[in-house]
Amino acid sequence: RKTPNCYYGREGQVLVHLFSWKWPDIAREYRPWWERYQPVSYKLDSASGSRDEFIDMVNRCKAAGVQIYIDAVINHMAGIDAGTGLGSGGSYYNTQLRFDGVPYGPDDFNTRCTTGSGNIENYADEGQVRNCRLVGLLDLEGGKNSVRSKIADYFDDMLQIGIDGYRIDAAKHMWPEDINATLSMTGVTEDKVEAFVYQEVIENGNEPVKTSQYTHIGRLVEFQYGYKMGDIFKWQHIKLSSLHNFGSDWSMMPSGDALVSIDNHDNQRGHGAGGNVITHKQPEGYKLAVIFMLSWPYGIPRVMSSYDFDQDWTGPPAQSPADGESCGSSWICEHSRGSASFIAFNREGGELNMNLPTGLPGGTYCDVISGDLLNGVCTGKTVTVFSDSTANIRIGSDSSTPVVAIHIGAKA
Ligand code: ARE
Ligand code: CA
């Protein structure tokens, strides 16, 4: 009676007195974010909302010209330690391999794993990486038709609702032919273009699984891009001026195969390959990295929009920005809008003072980094583009945001 029954390894921690909190808010506060990577069905009732709310969101986004790509967790279901229970959508599951909401049964799970633990023990063994459990997550047998068709039904449901593509979570842990076969089973109606696909395959040094094994299926996340952005904008190990040929010459995949980002929900908090990425926690360098990514012609860029955290498992704030919780406190909202047509950076230590070709017609432009165009007037710095389309660009080395960006939409 004198011990608080804490989970093993968490003894001696504190209690919180949640005076008058609502049950759903408590549930949400204490749910680690990674729970959503442990599906127990393909129903759309989750911590993010109901199926009807999802459909409404897709419709409203489409009406505004915004496409939705879903994060598809199809390599596995919940973890071996998840026990028995009901999912957030009410589906029964147990870790003797029953997931009634799909339904999946014991025959739908991988039997080809050869490790003693049943988990991936060695990433140097390609078979283990595909056939064993990633951190204990119950591994689906993607070679079976019954599994492929259940996933295809889920994809068809999503296409019917109106989504436009998928991030394939843990694609590294699926055989490429299984992903391909599953996608080929999904309906592509006459008036609908084929779904956009980008796969999560963290290519790592000498490991045998390579992104090139998946390029025939769709795009891939080029993780090297984010690591290199960290080297440049966080650690300053690489000089900006050496970026002139940044792309496939830098041991990255061809631009047409790549989707790139500065950081993601894993490496932002030390999950996944973690490492040297730059995040919103280093705002000055991060802004430059995002601006660079958006202006540099390589891959399809994806900007991050996330929430602040202290522990690696901390779930999202109970209130979303729309409920009155503003960006800049618990929600970071790293995403930015608009596009710049000419951009110059200086991170070399000295002053940049040069006439540079901008590709823009002559005139006075507002620098959209230090300000914007408001009622015909620039609120920040201005840049004069001469009739030969060059401009004199000066960026001091002492500036905290050593970058200038101008575009045709902000001409004074
Ligand atoms: C959680 C607990 C685990 C527990 C498990 C099952 O943390 O301790 O065993 O549940 O109960 C996320 C979280 C995980 C979480 C999981 C399920 O990050 O911590 O596990 O959800 O709730 C590899 C994969 C890559 C994967 C990363 C995380 O290759 O696919 O690990 N990334 C995706 C998502 C994650 C998500 C999952 C997959 C699972 O983006 O958010 O996990 O759906 C080397 C290798 C990499 C490897 C990396 C880390 O760099 O080359 O391939 O990445 O190490 O192991
Ligand atoms: Ca697998």
**Cα distance between residue 199 and residue 183, in whole Å:** 12
Instruction: Please indicate whether residue 284 or residue 314 has the higher confidence score (pLDDT).
Output: 314
198 has a pLDDT exceeding 90: yes
Ligand nearest to the CA of 137: 1
Q: Give the distance (Å) from ligand 1 centre to CA of residue 134.
A: 7
Q: Give the distance (Å) from ligand 1 centre to CA of residue 254.
A: 26
117 has a pLDDT exceeding 90: yes
Output the CA angle 140-226-244, nearest 5 degrees.
Answer: 135
Q: Is 79's C-beta closer than 6 angstroms to any atom of ligand 1?
A: yes
pLDDT score for 50: 92
Mutate to test the pocket of ligand 1, among 10, 37, 203, 214 (most ligand atoms within 8 A of CB): 37
The pLDDT tens digits for 36-93 are 999 999 999 988 889 999 999 999 999 988 899 999 999 999 999 999 999 989 999 9
The pLDDT tens digits for 149-176 are 999 999 999 999 999 999 999 999 999 9
Q: Give the distance (Å) from ligand 2 centre to CA of residue 33.
A: 22
Q: Give the distance (Å) from ligand 1 centre to CA of residue 221.
A: 16
Q: Which residues contact 83 (CB under 8 A, 6 or more apart)?
A: 94, 95
276 has a pLDDT exceeding 70: yes
pLDDT score for 190: 64
User: What residue's CA is closest to ligand 1, atom 27?
Assistant: 272
Catalytic residue IDs: 169, 200
Ligand nearest to the CA of 171: 1
**Cα distance between residue 332 and residue 265, in whole Å:** 13
**Cα distance between residue 287 and residue 401, in whole Å:** 8
pLDDT score for 29: 66
Q: Is 207's C-beta closer than 6 angstroms to any atom of ligand 1?
A: yes
User: What residue's CA is closest to ligand 1, atom 6?
Assistant: 79
Ligand nearest to the CA of 34: 1
Q: Which residues contact 112 (CB under 8 A, 6 or more apart)?
A: 127, 131, 141
pLDDT score for 191: 64
ipTM topping 0.90: yes
Q: Which stretches of 18-144 are DSSP H helices?
A: 23-29, 51-63, 126-131
pLDDT score for 11: 66
Instruction: Render 171-195 in DSSP notation, one character per residue.
Output: GGGS-HHHHHHHHHTS---TTSPPP
Instruction: Render 286-335 in DSSP notation, one character per residue.
Output: HHHHHHHHHHS-SSEE-----B--SSTT----SS-GGGT--BTTTB----
Q: Is 266's C-beta closer than 6 angstroms to any atom of ligand 1?
A: yes
Q: Is 9's C-beta closer than 6 angstroms to any atom of ligand 1?
A: no
Q: Is 37's C-beta closer than 6 angstroms to any atom of ligand 1?
A: yes
Whole-model pTM over 0.90: no
User: What residue's CA is closest to ligand 1, atom 14?
Assistant: 34
User: What residue's CA is closest to ligand 1, atom 15?
Assistant: 34
The overall average pLDDT reported for the chain is 89
Q: Give the distance (Å) from ligand 1 centre to CA of residue 267.
A: 11
pLDDT score for 332: 76
- Tokens standing for 251? 């041991």
Banded pLDDT at 4 (limits 50, 70, 90): confident
User: What residue's CA is closest to ligand 1, atom 26?
Assistant: 272
